[in-house]
């Protein structure tokens, strides 16, 4: 088999989580010299933390991010940094994931330099450019220039086909984030989570996980957190666990509305392993995170999505998630639904709504076939 060079791009923690399984699988098949993990540094501290969980390191690091950058600044820095890299070394494939500014600008730089682009987790659509912003625009941009589109679900594949992308360039592979989740849950539960769960059990409390960080939700967070406060007052046996994202507006809203309640635990940001093992023990989840929606659905955990749209409608259709918006009344009624929803036993089989744990193998198989047929 002819050797090819693969560059796998990561800029944020979710990208690390969803790209490392593929990085490992491609290295296994093609050798370490043929596969490089390229970092932009979009979320440098969280990126490094996620890499440490998997025991991996970047092969190249643009480190282009600076404090106070605007989205335009970040986009320009990634585009210029990747363009400079392509002037000195040119891989056969650049593999980007999802919908970040790093992924969009790296794809554009690759396109301008004649590098083939593969899009991991292609085809997600909300059909609303403002929700999520700028991610909906980013992923559509990538779809227009990618050579291969690895869709996690049938819905994602159909979205790409409706946009005119040739069927032979789209493959349903599942979500590599589920590969990472199942691998992580096979590891021993961190002592920090053991201690937290033991403390809650001692107090007779069942854990509920909250994550909140989306840019477009900032204006609504006061109302959102006020609804959470009211729900907890009428459900005193639930403990709300909120690992605070490095988003100062979310932190301020949480401290104002939630910190006074005895069953609220405001924690520093958890690492990925801690998050997965905590999630697996929760009664329900309240979130605006895409990755958490996928992970919770896989584990069968009722999920309240505090957004006006979701590009992961499969979980809603499966009856394991509800789209609540950001109005207090709908959040309260949605949380009541989740409270009534039966939570599966810890040892229950996973629900393969978004993936079954072997997406990286399927993607690598697809590359192998593409190389043989060239």
Which residues are identified as catalytic? 99, 121, 135, 213, 215, 245
CB 175 within 8 A of CB 152: yes
Beta sheet of 264-267, edge-to-edge order: 264-267, 238-243, 206-211, 284-287, 303-305, 321-323
Torsion sign across C-alpha atoms 295, 300, 304, 309 = positive
Rounded to 10 deg, the angle between the 221-233 and 248-257 helix axes is 30
Query: What gap in Å lies between CA 184 and CA 76, rounded to an integer?
Result: 35
Beta-sheet strands, E only, within the chain: 6-10, 35-39, 60-61, 93-97, 116-120, 148-151, 170-172, 206-211, 238-243, 264-267, 284-287, 303-305, 321-323
CB 38 within 8 A of CB 85: yes
């Amino acid at each position: 088999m002819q050797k090819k060079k693969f560059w796998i791009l990561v800029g944020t923690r979710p990208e690390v989580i969803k790209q490392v399984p593929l990085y490992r699988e491609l290295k296994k098949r093609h050798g370490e010299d043929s596969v490089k993990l390229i970092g932009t540094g979009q979320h440098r501290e969280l990126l490094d933390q996620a890499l440490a969980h998997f025991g991996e390191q970047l092969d190249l690091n643009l480190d282009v991010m600076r404090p106070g950058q605007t989205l335009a600044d970040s986009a320009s820095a990634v585009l210029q940094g990747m363009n400079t890299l392509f002037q000195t070394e040119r891989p056969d494939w650049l593999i980007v994931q999802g919908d970040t500014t790093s992924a969009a600008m790296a794809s554009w730089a690759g396109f301008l330099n004649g590098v083939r682009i593969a899009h991991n987790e292609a085809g997600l659509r909300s059909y609303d450019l403002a929700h999520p912003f700028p991610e909906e625009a980013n992923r559509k941009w990538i779809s227009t220039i990618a050579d291969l589109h690895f869709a996690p679900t049938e819905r994602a594949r159909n979205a790409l086909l409706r946009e005119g992308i040739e069927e032979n360039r789209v493959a349903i592979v599942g979500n590599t984030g589920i590969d990472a989740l199942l691998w992580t849950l096979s590891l021993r539960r961190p002592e920090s989570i053991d201690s937290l769960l033991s403390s809650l059990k001692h107090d007779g409390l069942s854990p509920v996980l909250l994550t909140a960080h989306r840019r477009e939700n900032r204006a609504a967070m006061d109302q959102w957190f006020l609804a959470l406060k009211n729900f907890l007052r009428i459900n005193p046996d639930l403990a709300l666990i909120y690992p605070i994202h490095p988003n100062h507006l979310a932190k301020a809203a949480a401290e104002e509305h939630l910190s006074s309640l005895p069953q609220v635990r405001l924690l520093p940001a958890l690492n990925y392993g801690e998050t997965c093992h905590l999630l697996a023990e929760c009664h329900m989840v309240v979130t605006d995170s895409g990755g958490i929606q996928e992970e919770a659905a896989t584990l069968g955990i009722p999920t309240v999505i505090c957004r006006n749209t979701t590009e992961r409608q499969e979980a809603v259709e499966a009856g394991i998630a509800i789209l609540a918006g950001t109005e207090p009344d709908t959040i309260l009624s949605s949380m009541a639904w989740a409270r009534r929803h039966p939570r599966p036993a810890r040892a229950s089989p996973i629900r393969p709504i978004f993936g079954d744990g072997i997406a990286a193998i399927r993607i690598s198989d697809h590359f192998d076939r593409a190389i043989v047929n060239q």
